[in-house]
Structure formats: structure tokens, C-alpha cells
Structure 1
Amino acid sequence: MLIYLCLSSHGYGHAARQAAIFSELYRLRPDWQYVVSSVVDYEFLNLAFNGIPIIHRRIKWDIGTVQDNALTVDIEKTLYELNNFYLKLPEILIEESDWIKSQNNNPLIIGDIPPSASRLASLLTAPLIWMGNFGWDNIYSSYDNRFSEYISNISDDYSKGNILIRFPFSMNMNWKIKEHKVGLVVSQKKILPNKFLANLESIKKKFILISLGGMGFKLSKETFSKWRDFHFLINRENDINDCSDIENVSLLPRSLCLIDVMPYCYRVITKPGFSTFCEAISCNLGIHVVERKYFSEAQFLIEGLKKYGSFRLLSEESFYNGNWQLDKELRNEHNSIIKSDGALSSAEAVISYIEEI
């Protein structure tokens, strides 16, 4: 069996959660062939899918939204890129379906969550499993009527899947197909390198993790001087304008993911993001969440955070000004418990589906 993942190229979150699921799939079915198809940063894909014998295909299956940074969306550029994408898609589908056929292995298509995966599955007469907490029809429906035709076509694509594995914090995704609900999708933590761990242990301050995902952000080093009693862990060099001389900031080694350091942290500052929320909640880590405009998934993520986690809400202005409320008590409104078994449950659902067909 060839498991072919059409992976959204919009940020890192889709890749992070699929890596957790593929890790479980590979553990349970090491005899299968695994393909990850995306233009997400190759270094991140190698880190996330480390230990899994992946075949990489560098194909862009969706546009998502065009963003200059992690918090804003450029509606005009998104519309322009969507038009260009669908002009090129027929040729991409033909070339990639030919490559898949050349592998001489029965394919199963997984889409997270590019609607074009439906067209690839149709060309191959292959089964299709969706995984996600939103569809691009949900996101574009909050934009103006120039997106109407795209929304209609995308919804039609989603309705052709065989099953939806519905993640937590989900939007309506009313595609009229069979569904399987799962818990938080979380990767296994790696052991910290000895040198980095020793460095953390030598710092007698509470650690604050800052990450706004693959789109990045820019902070001035002056913002950190407001919080000298804390030490900040950041995973991207370009997220600060020169961090080399900031005494209370450390960069994460490139071999580590966010979840690897979360058990050592006091709180995390982040945008509304599925994978970071799942990982932080599973680690009982307080979340300071920065508002995110023009991306309707954010409201559903925050509703889920209120249900399952502890948090503070920050405006975009407060984030960039360094008014991070680290001296404030967390809001704790949750009265529900959610399991962190979404990766295993998703993998088992895939295997069960294949065994049934």
C-alpha cells in the first residue's frame, strides 16, 4: 500500500500533526510505502518526519492564504495566487498521477487539507481520507464574494472524500461524508541534547517559549528587556532583529521541535495554531495567545482553548509592544478533559479503513 499525503504548504502546523500520525502509521505498518507531497520547508519536514522512510515530492497542492507574517492575511494576493494555482493544477495532476502509477503500489490519498487531493484521487480511482479541523471553504467564506466560485468548487471537492478524520477545535466542515473524531494530535517528545539541557539547568529563571509558526514574525530586542526575570526560548533566528546580545533569549537547536522543550517551560506565547495548542494543552502549559485577524479558524481554536486549557489573550499591538502579561494569573475556564491520543487514533482509523475496502 502506498500512503500518499497531499500536505498543505500553508505554514508548519499541518506538517507537524501529520508527522505525529505518520509516526504511528509507520510503527503499526512498516511494510507500507509513505510519500509526503508538499513545498513546506524541506529542513522542517526532515525534522518532523525524522525516523520515517519518507519519499518526498515537492508539489504545492493548495494556496491557503498569502501572508507577510504569522498574523495577517493579504486578501488580494490570495485571490491572485488562487487563480494562478487552478490554471496550473491540471498539468500537475496528470504528471503526479503518472508518477504514482509508476510505483506499482495501490495508493491511498490523505489530504490535510488541500481540496485538490480529491482530483488526484479521482484520476487514480483511489480512496481518499481527509484529516483536519477546517477546510479552505470555511476560511474563504469569511472573505468577499469574489471567492464564491472557489468556495463552491472546494466544497464539492471535499464532498468526494471517503471519510473525514475530524480533529479537535474544528469548524463545521459539513461535507456530508463519514466522520471519525479524534483527540489532540501530539508528537512524541525527543530527549534534549546534553549540552542544551545543561545550559537550561544553569539558567535560574522561568522559561517562556515564543513561536508564531512557519510564517514568522519580527520583534525588537527592546521588548525582552521588559521581562528580565524570564528567559525566552525562540526557534527561529529571523524572528528577532539581532538576538546575539540579548541576555535573556536562547535559540532552540534546529534538531528540536517545540514540544520537546514544553515540559521545561512556564508558558508559551503563540498565535492561534492547531498543533501548538494541542502540544501545549497536552503538557499543561499556559498559553498566551495573540489575536489573529482574517482567519476564521482562530475563533474555533480559542473556543477550544477556553474549554480545555489555561490562557491569556493578547492583542497584536500588545504582542509587538512586549505587553505580554507574564505577571498575570492564567484564565482557567475549562471544565472538560480531552485525550492526547489523536495521532494513534487517526493512524488506527486509516488502517481500519484500508482493511475494510
Structure 2
Amino acid sequence: MSRPTLYIAITNHGFGHAVPVSSVAAKIQELNPDILLIITTTAPRWLLESYIGGDFIHRPRAFDVGVVQADSLNMDKDATLEKLREIRKKQNSLIASEVNFIKQNRVGLVLADIPPLATRIAASAGVPCWMMANFGWDFIYRDWGGEFAEMADWIAECFGMCDRLFRLPLHEPMPAFPNIQDVGLTGGNPRYSNEQVREVFGIETPLEKTVLLTFGGLGVEDIPYQNLQLFSDWQFITFDAGCPDLPNLIKATNQEFTKSLPSLPRPVDIMPVCGRLLSKPGYSTFAEALRLEIPIISIMREGFAESPVLLEWLQNYAEHQIVTAAEFFEGDWEFLRQPLHPPRLSDKLDKNGTEAIAQAVVDYFS
């Protein structure tokens, strides 16, 4: 008897898509260890392993481009368009080689976040394609107009072939999808107790003066770290390996800390000891913070259609502050001393998206 096999395809863009899917994959493995996971993504294996405890097959392949970026805030539209054209031109050969692989490995279901070609690959291989996301690439590209409009149409056509979309919170309407099921927030759970994190990192500041700086897998160029000296009695924590050595800045990936922990810390492991998170708009960071009810200060992000949608949801459901790029890059961060805004709405978001999607996959295979 061959094992039930799930093929997971993840967008080739930053870390923000790999994190929610990896948390779902880990949950699937926990609910039914017999399901074999094949994870197709150019995201690094260490990132996937930081969420998935058991075995999986890592297949480094890219079926989409997302957005070509120098860092988490700066986009290169020309390079993005060129890459999109290339993928569209090569789509038949990309699909053919993957269909071959899927058939050889007796894959029973494709789960994608959210490469458009995954639907065509699954259809050609004769298996269902489920997707999970809070936005579609057609939404991002259509907003850019010009030649991107045609790409958006092609992508919407792909999404129209999706058998089931698990639509995550913080979403745009996603009208291209014929079959939508709304689910709750996704993300990992902290692995360590607050006492353990405080002890390992030597954090002695009170919660409201402890800030996690996290800007996604691509990071942000030119963070004005010099501002930290204006907050000498505060504690800042970062995952930015290139940050300067400052007395009130902890590098969470520094070996002197990580050697005393069984596995590398992730932002979600550090969040609970922080009174706020300073970030840029991104589903995965926002979702993990919202699940833990950690206040979020977000920089605005220009020219990316998902950004105002995310900030709208943030204002509705989180304690928050929204700062302009100028306030962040050129100001003195006085906003940190300002009171946070309460959420506009009193109802809370469902936090069980990871479990709901994982359970649906497990039920499909039983």
C-alpha cells in the first residue's frame, strides 16, 4: 500500500507564504503521520523545518514569481513583468514535468499558496487542487495596470480552476475563485514559555518597553537603528543578522542564545514577551501576532494592493499604530511613546485556520 501523498506548492516570494503553509503541514503531520508531504518551493529548507517537525520531501521548484524585490518594501516591476512573461511562455513544459512527477509519486491532492499554475498542474495530473491565501496575484498585478492587466487575466483564469479555496482572514474578495470557504488565522504556536525566552535572552524590561522588530524574510534596507539610543531603557529584539551591535538590541539568531534552545527561535516564539511588534504589512506576521493578541505597529507600504487591505483589517481587529515611511525612516520613533489605538471592532477573528485546513486535508485522505 502506498502512503497517501500531499503535494504542497508555495509561491516563490519571501517567507510570508511558506510560514502559514508550513504550520498547516505540521498540523497535518500531527493529525496523520502517515500522509507523505512533498513541499515544492524555493523557500529554504531550514525555514520549513522550523515549523515542520517530521520528515518531508523538499522539491525546490518555482512556478510563479510573486514580486521581484530588493527588500520587503522596494519592488522591481520591470523585472517582475519579465519573469512573468518567461513563466507564461514556459508554462507547458513546467506543467508537463510536474505532472509526470505527481503521477510517479501517486499524489492524491495538491494544496497551494498560491502559485496560479498549481491549478493547471493538478488538472493535468487528474487530482484536485485546493488553495489557501488571503489574496491572489491577479489582485496585485491588476492594480499596476498596463501590461500587467493581461497577466492578471491569465492568472485569474488559472484561479478559476481551483477546486476549493480556504480564504484566510485579512483578505481581498478573491472573486476569481469559484468555491470559497472562509477559515480562521493560520500560524505557528510559540515553542517556549515566556520565562524561558526571558531567561535565555536576558530580557529584563517590562512588556510595554520590549519591542520585536520584524520585517519578513527579505528584511528592510537602512533601518535607522541609531534611533534605539533614544530609548536606552527599552529592549529591542531583531532577526536581522546585519544589524549593528547596540546595548539594547538583541539579535535573536546569535549563537550564544540559540545554543541553549533545542531549535532556532522564530518570531512567533519571541512575540509573547513583547508589548508590541514593529513590522511592515504582511499576512504571515500579522496573523501570528493577531493569534497571540500582540499589538502591531506597521509601516505603510506604497504600490502594493494588499497593503491597504491588510492595514484595514489591522485597524479593525488589533491594538495598533500605523506610521508613514517618513516617520519610520526619517523620524525619531517618537510614535513608540504614543498610546496604541484600540481595535475598531469588538469581535475577534477566528484563530483556528491552521487546524481547519489540516483537518480538511486529513478527512480528504481518510
TM-score by length of 1: 0.92
For the 8 Å contact 2:129–2:164, the answer to whether it is kept is yes
User: Structure 1's 58 and 301: CA in aligned 2 closer, same or farther, altered over 3 A?
Assistant: same
Corresponding position of 1:212: 215
The answer to which of 183-192 and 302-311 deviates more is 183-192
Residue number among 298, 309, 323 corresponding to 2:307 in the alignment? 298
- One-letter code aligned to 2:42: V
- One-letter code aligned to 1:95: S
Deviations 1:276-320 (A, max 9, x none): 111112222111000011111111111111111010111112212
For the 8 Å contact 1:15–1:48, the answer to whether it is kept is no
**Residue 83 of structure 1: how far off its partner (Å):** 1.3
- Counterparts of 1:15 and 1:156, CA distance in 2: 24
Corresponding position of 1:124: 125
- RMSD of the TM alignment (CA)? 1.9
**Residue 2 of structure 1: how far off its partner (Å):** 1.2
Give yes or no for the alignment of 1:35 onto 2:38: yes
Corresponding position of 1:175: 176
Give yes or no for the alignment of 1:330 onto 2:340: yes
- Counterparts of 2:214 and 2:121, CA distance in 1: 34
**Residue 72 of structure 1: how far off its partner (Å):** 2.2
For the 8 Å contact 1:191–1:260, the answer to whether it is kept is yes
- One-letter code aligned to 2:339: E
Corresponding position of 1:140: 141
- Counterparts of 1:256 and 1:290, CA distance in 2: 24
Deviations 1:124-143 (A, max 9, x none): 01100011011100111100
1:23-102 paired onto structure 2 within 5 Å: 23-49=26-52, 51-102=53-104
Residue number among 224, 230, 236 corresponding to 1:226 in the alignment? 230
**Residue 250 of structure 1: how far off its partner (Å):** 0.6
- One-letter code aligned to 1:251: K
Q: How many residues align?
A: 349
**Residue 96 of structure 1: how far off its partner (Å):** 2.2
What is the SS of the residue equivalent to 1:35?
strand
Corresponding position of 2:261: none
User: Structure 1's 106 and 41: CA in aligned 2 closer, same or farther, altered over 3 A?
Assistant: closer
Corresponding position of 1:151: 152
- Please list every run of at least 4 consecutive aligned residues from structure 1 whose deviation after the TM superposition is greater than 6 angstroms: 192-195
> Percentage identity across aligned positions?
27
The answer to which of 318-327 and 270-279 deviates more is 318-327
**Residue 322 of structure 1: how far off its partner (Å):** 5.0
**Residue 18 of structure 1: how far off its partner (Å):** 0.7
For the 8 Å contact 1:5–1:110, the answer to whether it is kept is yes
**Residue 188 of structure 1: how far off its partner (Å):** 1.9
- One-letter code aligned to 1:279: E
User: Structure 1's 162 and 203: CA in aligned 2 closer, same or farther, altered over 3 A?
Assistant: same
For the 8 Å contact 1:310–1:334, the answer to whether it is kept is no
**Residue 196 of structure 1: how far off its partner (Å):** 5.6
Corresponding position of 1:344: 355
